[in-house]
Amino acid sequence: MFAFLRRDPILMGILFLALVLRLAYALQASSTPLAEVLLLDSEFYDRQARSLLAGKGWTEGVFFTNPPYPYLLAFLGSAARGN
């Protein structure tokens, strides 16, 4: 599937460097105060996932956004808690 990477070490190096830079940025950004605040969509998805984890189901009317995402967050939150 990714045989082209074995044939092109320069491309593989560029992709690896990009991954390292993104991970370094994510680690540094997670320690800023802005990482603690959820805004707009993030806050909505988090609220829906917490509602699903609490057993209250979907709390906001119709699906006007991406419905599977709060379920994914609830699943990941459940897995992180060990349930």
Percent of the chain with pLDDT over 70: 75
Query: Can you tell me the distance from the alpha carbon of 28 to that of 26, in angstroms, rounded to the nearest whole number?
Result: 6
Predicted structure pTM score: 0.46
Task: Tell me the domain boundaries of the chain.
Answer: 1-33, 38-83
**Mean pLDDT value of segment 72-77:** 82
pLDDT digits (tens, 9 = 90+) for 52-61: 888 777 666 6
